Chain A
Amino acid sequence: MKKLLFVFLILASVAPLVMAEVTAKDLAAVGPTSILFWTKEGEADQALQFVKLETDLFSRLYPNITFEVANKDVEVLRQDFQTASLAGSAPDLLWTVNDHTGPFTTADIIQPVDTLFNLKKYVDAALAAVTLKGKVWGIPISNGNHLMLLYNKSLIKKPPATTTELLALAGKMPAGTYPLVYNQTEPFWLVPWLGGFKGTVFAKDGITPTLNTKPMVDTLKFLKSLKDRKIVPTESDYNGADTLFKEGKAAMIINGDWSLGAYKDALKDDLGVARIPKVAASGAWPAPYTSGAFFMLPKDLSGDKLTAVRGFIQFVTGREMQVEMVAKLSRLPGLKDALSDELITSDPILKGSSDQMVVGTPMPTVIEMRANWDAMKPEMAAVLSGTKTAEAAAADMQKAAVAAIKSLQ
């Protein structure tokens, strides 16, 4: 009798794991369903095309399930999802970045996925990036989303390994070519350097901002010096940097893994990947934020739509599609099993990408991070345009972040 009870308990504990996956039968039984699907992947990166490829393949397997795919920039996606969800008009599926977990859980508009999927399949670091308050809020698609140094081999044979070498490139490029370009408008491109100067945006508790620090001041001064020495253009947004690099007017670009697909297409074998140069003053490697791309489910998703969405997520994060993603988009997979595929170990681009990831740091998920981003952005712009000193900017950043966190209560 005891033995029976024992066996029953074992089975009962395993059952949720087994039942967590939807089967092909479940999917075939679903009625005609249309899934409204918002993704941060864009056309210019060749990634939106890949997303559509996946939805097409899935719809071919299960003709009852169709998708309406829309691309929205990361910030627009966050705002629109909040605006629509609060009004009860949310889409059915999101493909987005991990730091959206904070705002979305605060507004209570996404649902935890612990019981809906077999989470053991996924890379632990990736899952950690979407874990908040003890629950998991997203399914990893790709791991990384990190910045790295991409270079054009035809313009620069060996990229600089330290900031000293980087600064020495001033004036060495042919006329009309910049040594380096990057998106000078977003603090996402500032934080790697902050890590390189051994600074962090949060204190040890993970929610108190620490922006008014010497590392931050040093970072801001360093970025300004890149501009002053004409290593980077006087003013450059994402699009400008991207175009300059694709057109061969910039030797190097600091950009993320989402752009690898398009650059492979444009530069072919001339594309090289390396770590962002080590900061000579501190001897530390810059630490870009690592997260990844994740599926997130709106709170009220249920019934047929939920089944369809779960089936699609399983499909996209299945080994076959993950390897396909590695091949096409050069991104590291979120599925543990796919990490062992020989593609990853043999592709130099991927090697470089994971090499950078090793020295990266996980992007904070808490909603207080939002306050940090919003605080850093205008101050970074002010320092770069020369209207504020680095010290004043760092002090103002801290004030703004603290004020913002207060207003979040």
Chain B
Amino acid sequence: MQSLTSQIITNSLGQVGLTVLALVAGVVLIELLVYLAAGKIFHAKNALVYMLLAPAVIGLALLIVYPIVLELRLAFSNMSLRRFKNPDYGLAQGLDNFKLIFTEPVLKQVMFFPVFLRTILWTGIQVVFHVTLGLGLALLLNRKLLLKGLYKVLLVIPWAIPQVIACLTWRGEFHFEYGFVNILLKAVGIPGVQWKSDPFWNFVAMNITNIWLGVPFMMVICLGALQSIAKEYYEAAKMDGATGWRKLRSISLPLMAPILTPAVILGVIWTFNNFNVPYFINENHLETSDILVTALFRAAFEYNRYGFSAAFAIVIFLILFIFSAFYIRFTGALKSVRG
């Protein structure tokens, strides 16, 4: 056991403080250098711009571009437990990796397409539930209520609790004997469900947990969007004799779209890439509950197939990229960037 001694405190502060100071010093230095270089050597008109941009550009190059380049290189290698220090790089290894992804199990038995389809199913189910339940709750809350403030605080609790804690807790609560889910089921006469060992029920458990976690976020977004709609629209509609459902369809939803759409897209991406929920709820490491990102983690860090998982990661990224390209084309989201 390590207690938090004053020595640890000073050591760690020193280490971290040094890093931050080095960073600040580095940023200032880079900015100065770039400014002088741009101004005096290149006689650029916008020396200031380059100066301001330089630290971020260099930072991103080091932190994002370099790792991506390394990932590409790794994908064309056979780095593994046996060959960590001196892997072989080459086209042959790369093609081998990519071929293996689609022809052999990515873990021990599960193949690529089932995992991919499961990820899509998972994302679809989650987004549908998040939006419908979130919107539903928001519609209910969008009126004068006695306990409105209390409701809003309590309903946000799943979002406020750190995700790791929620996942580990739900994992415990799906325990056959001692988790409250089965205890409640048994109390109403339903025999206990094997949440941990049955592939189907484990998938259901994952979904239940993530619905519990994700609905508050959607609810808050929808509520904010609803409250930003001016009351006149509803009053005008009422005078025209519109029913509640009509109001929802023709006024609320269209006017909520500008705020709702980006939130839904974010939700799709977050759910697709959600690591914590599938990883923790799947306590028995059932491969049938893995989605793409958890399969990637296992391939890399439980089976040490670093080269293979680099190729795997690139495939996942391409999938996401194609999806986003379609989305951007459809909705013209780039227009706001070019402006």
B194 adjacent to A79 (CB under 8 Å): no
Contacts A82-B81, A407-B303 known; list 14 others, CB within 8 Å. Answer: A82-B304, A107-B304, A185-B284, A235-B192, A240-B175, A240-B178, A244-B177, A378-B287, A387-B200, A399-B109, A400-B105, A404-B108, A407-B308, A408-B81
**B143 proximal to A (CB < 8 A):** no
Residues of B within 8 A of A83 (CB): 301
**Which residue, of B108, B175, B176, B200, has the highest number of chain A Cβ atoms within 10 A?**
B108
In the complex, are the beta carbons of B2 and A106 less than 8 A apart?
Answer: no
Q: Which residue of A lies closest to B300 (CB)?
A: A83
A377 at the interface (CB under 8 A from B): yes
With an 8 A cutoff between CB atoms, is A33 at the interface?
no
Find out whether the CB atom of A106 lies under 8 angstroms from the CB atom of B177. no
Q: Is the CB of B192 within 8 A of A408?
A: no
Residue of A nearest to B172 (CB): A239
- Residues B2 and A68 in contact, CB atoms below 8 Å apart: yes
In the docked arrangement, what's the CA distance between A292 and B285, Å?
26
CB of A233 within 8 Å of the partner chain: yes
Q: Quick one: which of B80, B104, B177, B197 contacts A381, CB cutoff 8 A?
A: B197
A243–B105 CA distance with the chains assembled, in angstroms: 37
**Is A154's beta carbon under 8 Å from chain B?**
no
A403 within 8 A of B: yes
Query: Nearest chain B CB to A73's CB is how many angstroms away?
Result: 12
Taking a contact as CB atoms under 8 Å apart, the answer to whether B301 and A237 are in contact is no
Please pick, from A234, A374, A409, the residue contacting B194 in the complex, using a CB distance under 8 A.
A234
A107 to B286 alpha-carbon distance, docked (Å): 26
A68 to B288, CA, bound (A): 39
Checking B81, B109, B175 against A107 with a beta-carbon cut-off of 8 angstroms, the contacting residue is: B81
Q: Mark A370-389, 1 if CB is under 8 A from B, else 0.
A: 00001101100110111100
Q: Are B81 and A378 in contact (CB under 8 A)?
A: no
The interface bits of chain B over 185-207 (1 if a CB of A lies within 8 angstroms of the residue's CB, else 0) are 00000001011111110000000
B287 and A237 within 8 A (CB): no
The answer to whether A403 touches B108, judged by C-beta atoms less than 8 angstroms apart, is yes
The yes or no answer to B325 lying at the interface (CB within 8 A) is no
CB contact list, A267-282 vs B, under 8 A: none
Known: A79-B301, A240-B176. A381 touches B286 (CB 8 A): yes
Assembled-state Cα–Cα distance A93/B108 (Å): 31
Contacts of B147 in A (CB 8 A): none
Check B199 against A385 for contact (C-beta < 8 Å): yes
Using an 8 Å CB-CB cutoff, how does the interface string of B70-98 with A read, 1 for contact, 0 for none? Answer: 00000000001110100000000000000
In the docked arrangement, what's the CA distance between A404 and B298, Å?
A: 13
Partner of B176, one of A106, A236, A387: A236
The residues of A that contact B287 with a CB separation of less than 8 Å are: 378
- Per the bound structure, the CA–CA distance linking A48 and B308 in Å amounts to 38
Of residues 151 through 202 on chain A, the ones whose CB sits less than 8 Å from some CB of chain B are 184-185
B130 contacts A by Cβ under 8 Å: no
* Assembly CA distance A114 to B202 (angstroms): 47
- Give the residues in chain A near B302, CB-CB below 8 Å: 79
**A396 interfacial contact with B, CB 8 Å:** yes
Complex alpha-carbon distance, A349 and B305, angstroms: 44
The residue in chain B whose Cβ has the minimal distance to the Cβ of A240 is: B177
| Other-chain contact of B285, A243, A377, A385 (Cβ < 8 Å) | A377
Q: Is B283 positioned at the interface, with any CB of A under 8 Å from its CB?
A: yes
Question: Which residues from chain A sit less than 8 Å from chain B, CB to CB?
Answer: 68-70, 79, 82-83, 86, 103, 106-107, 184-185, 233-237, 240, 243-244, 374-375, 377-378, 381-382, 384-387, 396, 399-400, 403-404, 407-409
One of B2, B104, B177 near A233 (C-beta < 8 A): B177
- The answer on a CB contact under 8 Å between A237 and B81 is no
A403 to chain B, nearest CB (A): 6
Residue of A nearest to B177 (CB): A240
B window 168-190: CB within 8 A of A:
175-178
Contact of B199 among A240, A374, A387 (CB under 8 A): A387
B180 to chain A, nearest CB (A): 15
Which residues of chain A come closer than 8 Å to B177, judged between CB atoms?
A: 233, 235-236, 240, 244
> Which residues on A sit within 8 Å (CB–CB) of B301?
79, 83
Given A86, A237, A375, which contacts B84 in the complex, CB threshold below 8 Å? A86
A-B contacts, 28 listed (Cβ < 8 Å): A68-B2, A79-B301, A82-B81, A83-B301, A86-B84, A103-B81, A106-B82, A184-B197, A185-B284, A235-B176, A235-B192, A235-B196, A236-B176, A236-B177, A237-B175, A237-B283, A237-B284, A377-B284, A378-B285, A382-B199, A387-B200, A396-B109, A400-B109, A403-B104, A403-B105, A403-B109, A404-B303, A407-B104
By a CB distance below 8 angstroms, the chain A residues around B80 are 408
| Residues in B whose Cβ lies below 8 Å from that of A404 | 108, 303
Residues 141-177 of chain B, each 1 if its beta carbon lies under 8 Å from chain A, else 0: 0000000000000000000000000000000000111
With both chains docked as a complex, state the minimum distance between the C-beta of B137 and any C-beta of chain A, in angstroms: 33
B239 within 8 A of A: no
Closest to B285 in A: A377
Residues of A within 8 A of B84 (CB): 86, 107
Q: B337 near A: Cβ within 8 Å?
A: no
- Which A residues are CB-close (under 8 A) to B108? 374-375, 378, 400, 403-404
**Pair A387/B285 contact, Cβ less than 8 Å:** no
Q: How far is the CB of B291 from chain A (nearest CB, A)?
A: 16
Interface residues of B in 1-48 (CB under 8 A from A): 1-2
Within the complex, the shortest CB–CB distance from B10 to chain A, in Å, comes to 16
Q: Bound state CA distance, A107 and B1, in angstroms?
A: 28
Contact pattern, B 101-117, Cβ under 8 Å of A = 1, otherwise 0: 00011001100000000
Is the pair A235, B194 in contact by a Cβ cutoff of 8 Å? Answer: yes
B105 to chain A: closest CB distance in Å?
Answer: 6
Nearest A residue to B110, CB-CB: A378
**Least CB separation from B198: chain A residue:** A385
Establish whether residues A234 and B109, one from each chain, have CB atoms under 8 Å apart when the complex forms: no
Q: Report which of A234, A382, A386 forms a contact with B192, defined as CB distance below 8 A.
A: A234
Q: Closest residue of chain B to A382, judged by CB?
A: B199
Considering the complex, give the chain A residue whose CB is closest to the CB of B287.
Answer: A378
Report which of A184, A237, A244, A408 forms a contact with B82, defined as CB distance below 8 A: A408
Say yes or no: A381 contacts B176, CB within 8 Å: no
Q: Across the A-B interface, give the 6 residue pairs with the lowest CB-CB distance, nearest first.
A: A235-B176, A385-B197, A385-B198, A400-B108, A235-B194, A107-B81
* Inter-chain contacts of B176 with A (CB < 8 A): 233-236, 240
Residues on the A chain within 8 Å of B175, using CB: 237, 240
Whether B284 pairs with A381 at a CB distance below 8 angstroms is yes
CB distance from A233 to the nearest CB of B (A): 7
Residues on the B chain within 8 Å of A399, using CB: 109
Residues of B within 8 A of A381 (CB): 197, 284, 286
